Structure 1
Amino acid sequence: MKQYIQLTNEEIKRSFKLYVIVVLVMAAIELVSVVAQVMYHERKVENFMELNRVSVAEALKQIDTLGYSEASSFFSYMTLIGMAIVVIYAIQIWYRDWLGETKYIYRLLMLPGSRASIFFSKLTTVFLIIVSFIGIQWCVMQLGFYLFDWLIQPEYQNQIDLSPVQNVMSEFYTTNLIDMGIILAISLFIVSFIFLLILIERSFRKGKAVVKIGLEIFIAILIAYITVLFLDETRILLETEELILTIGISLLYFMYIIWKSLRLLQQKVTV
């Protein structure tokens, strides 16, 4: 446990500066996009009024008012970019140890005790980054809403669209603890699967590694397909029973991913 905590702390310190820079840049872009959308909308209304010699109310009938979901539309793209960055980081957190000038992976693999602490320290680091990213993004969205409400003139604002989170974003940034738990569980599952594929690539020669990676992806798709097909075609289970079955299959496969990854790290990956 002590080794796991030390390695997790080390991984966090190695990534902290870059993570802070990325988060600040993304937050700045998102907030600036809200300001830009408000300014663009007001300029659009004013230009329409000047060209057509009409009042604000008449101009807004043609152009429409601006809601926060429209002003924060750029947030969706930044969220997708954030997801892509997390996936890239999940890959980079392993390969930087092999490809770096110091070959840090040699020090890790030669540490006394179980190598499981190496795996779980990296998994914990990525998971903490996912949790913190969601939390920070939520705070930025709330801040963006207050910024929007402060900047825009009342008559220009869509009074119906008062929620800081709308449409697709509401599915991802939910306050429901069960939904949030599902999102984090899926994120952890995906990261674990990426780790497994990386460890397979590091454990075998290129040709054999490609075959085994392809096999693992095929197995994952097959299990998902059979599960969905069974639930759709049979209709013999209640909704609660279907949920329990899905969770059970997911947990079993997740346990397989962890077991296979640890086995590769312990027995196949060598100095």
Structure 2
Amino acid sequence: MINYMKLVHFEVKRFWKLYAGLALLIVLGQLAIVFFGAKQYKNMLKNTVVDTIDGRTGGEIPSLSITNIIDSPIFLLTIMLGAAVLIIYMFFIWCRDWFGKNTFAYRLLMLPTNRMNLFFAKGTAIFLFVFGLVAMQVILVIIEQGIINSIVPKDFIDDLGFINSLNQSMLGVLIPATITGFLINYGLGLVVLITVFTVVLLERSYRVRGIIMAVIYCIATGFIILLPLLIQDWSRNYFYSGELLLMEIIFCALLVLCGLLISRYLLNRKITV
């Protein structure tokens, strides 16, 4: 356990500067988007009032909700940026250890600890980074709602409440309102993480053949994840939603177990020092 915790700390330490830069970019980007979005809405509101006073038809402007800004393409771009960086890092966290002449991966594999600790440490680091960004996003939503409240008149704000604001926006994917939604979303994330790690280890173990094996493995994984939906379609909606959810959980658990077993075999038997 001590070796595992040391490896987790080591992996977090290697990425924290880039991660801090990414977090700062997301924070500044979102705050700027919300600020100027609220300012633009207030200007539209003023122009409508002026047009009405001058006898021109200003038209009605719907009340502003934070979900209007969250679901805007430019705001979603900041979320996609964070997701893209972490997805790339899932590959890079393994691949960088093999870069250069004196490959650092072999030094890690020679450590007096179970090699799967290295696997779990890298996976834990990724999830810590993910949950760190999610926690930051929760705080940002509260701050962003405060920015809107300070700029736009209260009568023109559609305050849905914190939970409803998340549920009715794209952030509901990152921050599900129910435990079931959380388990489904992040359970699938765990499957993706272990699949990516297994794919990298296949390539490192078998090179060209490993790439072919990795492609086949990814296709098989995707098929198994979609299998409950295919079964429902083939059976013409025979199963209840709860039964489909149970099937999905079982299939995902099998994928996780399969990925761990394959990775353990590759680390212990195929990647030699």
Normalised to the residue count of structure 2, the TM-score between the two structures is 0.87
Specify the alignment match of 2:38 in structure 1. Answer: 38
Q: Read off the aligned partner of 1:35 and give its amino acid letter.
A: F
User: Residue 11 of structure 1 contacts residue 122 of structure 1 at CA under 8 Å; is this kept in 2?
Assistant: yes
Structure 1 vs Structure 2 CA RMSD: 2.5
Which residue does 1:233 correspond to in 2?
234
1:76-115 paired onto structure 2 within 5 Å: 76-99=76-99, 103-115=103-115
The residue number in structure 2 matching 1:130 is 130
Task: Tell me the amino acid that sits aligned with residue 123 of structure 1.
Answer: G
Tell me what 2:157 maps to. 158
What pairs with 1:1-271 in structure 2 (closer than 5 Å)? Answer: 1-47=1-47, 52=51, 54=53, 59=58, 61-72=59-70, 73=72, 74-99=74-99, 103-155=103-155, 157-159=156-158, 161=160, 163-165=164-166, 166-206=168-208, 208-234=209-235, 235-271=237-273
List per-residue Cα deviations over 1:77-107 (Å, max 9, x = no partner). 2222221111011111111211157632121
Distance of 1:239 and 1:70 partners within structure 2: 31
Query: Following the alignment from structure 1 to structure 2, what is the Cα–Cα distance between the partners of residues 55 and 123?
Result: 63
- Code of the aligned partner of 1:193: T
- How many angstroms apart in 1 are the aligned matches of 2:202 and 2:135? 32
Provide the secondary structure at the position in 2 that maps to 1:111. Answer: coil
* CA displacement, residues 12-42 of structure 1 (integer Å, 9 cap, x when unaligned): 1111222122112101110111001111222
Tell me, yes or no, if the aligned pair for 2:11 and 2:122 is still in contact at 8 Å. yes
Once residues 44 and 79 of structure 2 are traced to their aligned partners in structure 1, the CA distance between those partners, rounded to angstroms, is 28
Q: For the residues of structure 2 that align with 1:173 and 1:57, how far apart are their CA atoms?
A: 44
Aligned-partner Cα distance in 1 for 2:55–2:44:
11
Structure 1: give runs of 5+ residues left out of the alignment: none
Relative to structure 2, which stretch is displaced further, 9-18 or 95-104? 95-104
> In the superposition, relative to structure 1, how do residues 91 and 76 fare at CA in structure 2: closer, same or farther (>3 Å)?
same
Secondary structure of 1:112's partner? coil
The 2-side partners of 1:25 and 1:56 are apart by 45
Structure 2 counterpart SS, 1:6: helix
Aligned residues: 267
Structure 2, unmatched stretches of 5+, are none
Q: Note the C-alpha offset of 1:120.
A: 0.6
What letter corresponds to residue 232 of structure 1 in structure 2? D
| Partner secondary structure for residue 176 of structure 2 | coil
Q: CA offset at residue 65 of structure 1?
A: 3.5
- Give the Å deviation of 1:47: 4.4
Question: 2:82 is matched by which residue type in structure 1?
Answer: G
- Please give the alpha-carbon distance, in whole angstroms, between the structure 2 residues aligned to 1:168 and 1:151: 24
